């Protein structure tokens, strides 16, 4: 199983899930030594607009992931990606359920080294949710197979990587080792899941093949966020060492 070569701290993606540029830049300044990627999601992007990207870029040289989860007709998605290419971000997310044509057109119009990250199935969804949404019983029963089909679409169209839960990442890596795997739903303990249903610890996720971990609330809600980051880095290093020994 292929794992990209990266220092442990560069594997942590911190979501800037705040509504003001002041709070976002404070988090960037505070966590910059411990984080590899800063993620801008809908809340911050809608609140502050595209100018927030420049403000974050002025505070760090780390990667910026614009996580907008684009999902629309091919023409709309591709034109949005063309505009985002001028914003100075490294990655932008597109729902793989938008389909192969939307993905191909987005990749055609992306430039300035912008990479497309495909969203598979949200980690807040489980089998019951998928059945409610109209997925057939066979696919809803086996989330790994469903995510694997979407990963194949990402690989076939040329996406840089995908977002999936730790429960599916091992199978994805076995079949598509070239894809970068980004795993959200990371919790320091399985007892604390919040609205995430398919969770794992940092150690578990890296051991299974995750390249990057999205870790927000366990860091943000801690009394000493820097200390939590250090603990996460220790877990990641331990998993990487075990991976190398296999």
Residues with catalytic annotation?
Answer: 69
Contact 188, 231 (CB under 8 A): yes
115-133: average pLDDT? 86
Q: Does position 246 have pLDDT exceeding 70, yes or no?
A: no
Contact 162, 96 (CB under 8 A): yes
10 against 185, higher pLDDT: 10
Alpha-carbon distance values, 110 to 71, 77, 97, 117 (Å)? 16, 11, 19, 12
- In 3D space, the residue among 194, 191, 213 whose CA is nearest the CA of residue 203 turns out to be 213
How much of the chain, in percent, has pLDDT values that exceed 70? 93
Q: Does position 195 have pLDDT exceeding 50, yes or no?
A: no
Q: Does position 192 have pLDDT exceeding 60, yes or no?
A: no
- Computed over every residue of the chain, the mean pLDDT equals 92
- From CA 170, how far away is CA 173, in angstroms rounded? 5
CATH fold for domain 8-245: TIM Barrel (3.20.20)
Q: Does position 196 have pLDDT exceeding 60, yes or no?
A: no
């Amino acid at each position: 199983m292929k794992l990209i070569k990266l220092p442990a701290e560069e594997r942590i993606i911190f979501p800037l899930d705040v509504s003001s540029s002041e709070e976002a830049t404070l988090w960037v300044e505070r966590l910059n030594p411990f984080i590899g990627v800063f993620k801008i999601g809908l809340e911050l992007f809608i609140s502050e607009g595209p100018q927030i990207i420049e403000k974050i870029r002025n505070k760090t040289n780390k990667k910026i992931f614009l996580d907008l989860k684009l999902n629309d007709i091919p023409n709309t998605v591709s034109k949005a990606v063309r505009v985002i290419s001028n914003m100075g971000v490294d990655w932008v997310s597109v729902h793989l359920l938008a389909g192969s044509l939307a993905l191909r057109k987005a990749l055609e119009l992306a430039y300035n080294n912008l990479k497309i990250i495909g969203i598979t199935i949200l980690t807040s969804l489980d089998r019951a949710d998928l059945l409610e949404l109209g997925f057939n019983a066979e696919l809803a029963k086996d989330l790994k197979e469903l995510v694997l089909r979407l990963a194949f679409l990402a690989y076939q169209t040329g996406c840089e990587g995908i977002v999936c839960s730790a429960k599916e990442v091992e199978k994805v890596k076995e079949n598509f080792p070239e894809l970068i795997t980004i795993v959200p739903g990371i919790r320091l303990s399985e007892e604390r899941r919040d609205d995430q249903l398919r969770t794992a610890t940092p150690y578990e996720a890296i051991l299974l093949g995750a390249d990057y971990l999205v870790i927000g609330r366990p860091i943000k809600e801690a009394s000493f966020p820097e200390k939590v980051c250090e603990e996460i880095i220790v877990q990641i290093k331990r998993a990487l060492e075990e991976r190398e020994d296999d």
